[in-house]
Amino acid sequence: RKEVEQDPGPFNVPEGATVAFNCTYSNSASQSFFWYRQDCRKEPKLLMSVYSSGNEDGRFTAQLNRASQYISLLIRDSKLSDSATYLCAVNLLNTGFQKLVFGTGTRLLVSP
């Protein structure tokens, strides 16, 4: 089983739709969690950290479910500009070094 798994998609949604992605992780000792956005042929950019209580930033909401070992990202009122690949990252404390393990990403395509 992979350490971090994501549905590759693509998720095709119309503008204005609500879309959600999940990311599962295998190691229950994972300590912190992140969502990154990556545009085609560009570097990943940190979208948001995921806190235990869940957090929201505008149209974006991130949730953590430790019992089922997954994190989620909800995007409301999708914009054309939201089209990108969304990477989740899970931070595992490993012999004093906090190793960040990335999923392969979920591709989102928002159409007019």
Interface with another protein (CB under 8 A):
4, 8, 31-32, 34, 41-46, 49, 87, 89, 91, 97-100, 102-105
59 versus 99: smaller Cβ distance to another protein: 99
Own/partner pairs, 65-70, CB within 8 angstroms, 24+ separation:
66/28, 68/24, 69/24, 69/25, 69/26, 69/28, 69/30, 70/22, 70/23, 70/24, 70/25
Smallest gap from residue 76 Cβ to another protein (A): 24
27 versus 91: smaller Cβ distance to another protein: 91
78 versus 88: smaller Cβ distance to another protein: 88
For residue 90, give the H/E element and its range. Answer: strand 84-94
